[in-house]
Amino acid sequence: MNLARHCNLCDHQKVNLKDGTTCGLTNRKPEFNKTCSKIALNEKFQNQLKTVNIEYQKVKRTKTVTYIYFGVFLIIGLAVIIGGYLLGKYAFDSGVVSTVPLIIMGVGLVPLGMAFGTLNKFHQEVSNTKRKKDTIDEVLNMYRINYEIDIKFGKKYHGTQKVYTDLNVKGLYG
């Protein structure tokens, strides 16, 4: 079990390159069985919880755009490949393989790569942000802490977007 996952949420955590994660109370590596009795889940915990949930929601919000992008570039790529094939079949009907249709078909691979690359990137981002969220949720379940978070995204201006969160934690210290 990775005990540092608990410490990553705790206000007592100390981190340095020599020792890694240590407890600020004992100045030693974390030493507990399942849960730490002296864990301090305050501001650091709330900030990490908000950040992870905001990242996860941001990625999920791009799902529709990602699939539209995938569909459009898939159609463009296939159309270019089919167009190159048909050009070679009907325009150059001499039976000799021509370079022009092959080049056109090769160019059609570029939009296909863009389509599948974007889809793959989206799935990796969803997987990574979900894993981070699940890691924190798993630690919180050990302490019987539940939370509800309401995230509202404001308008995006010049690449910057305001995010409003309302975090309600249940079971913390009680």
* Per-residue pLDDT tens over the stretch 1-40: 577 788 888 888 888 888 888 888 888 888 888 888 888 8
- In 3D, which of 52, 49, 48 has the Cα closest to residue 60? 52
Could you tell me which residue, 170 or 172, shows the higher pLDDT? Answer: 170
> Mean pLDDT over residues 95-109, rounded?
84
Comparing 56-60, 90-94, 126-130, the range with the smallest average pLDDT is 90-94
Q: What is the mean pLDDT of the chain?
A: 87
- What would the pLDDT profile of 37-59 be if each residue is shown by its tens digit? 888 888 888 899 999 999 999 99
- In 3D, which of 123, 136, 115, 141 has the Cα closest to residue 49? 136
> Mean pLDDT over residues 117-143, rounded?
94
- Most confident of the following: 41-50, 57-66, 84-93, 138-147: 57-66
| Token couple for 135 | 């890691």
| Token couple for 85 | 């094939």
Res 105: pLDDT:
92
pLDDT at residue 169 is higher than 90: no
- CB of 143 within 8 A of CB of 119? no
Res 139: pLDDT:
87
Could you tell me which residue, 93 or 174, shows the higher pLDDT? Answer: 93
> Mean pLDDT over residues 77-105, rounded?
83
DSSP conformation letters of the chain: --THHHHTT-TTEEEETTTEEEETTTSS----SSS-TT---SHHHHHHHHHHHHHHHHHHHTHHHHHHHHHHHHHHHHHHHHHHHHIIIIITTTSSPPHHHHHHHHHTHHHHHHHHHHHHHHHHHHHHHHHHHHHHHHHHHHTT-EEEEEEEEEEEETTEEEEEEEEEEESTT-
Res 95: pLDDT:
61
- In 3D, which of 71, 157, 174, 163 has the Cα closest to residue 119? 71
CA atoms within 13 A on the CB side of 62: 16
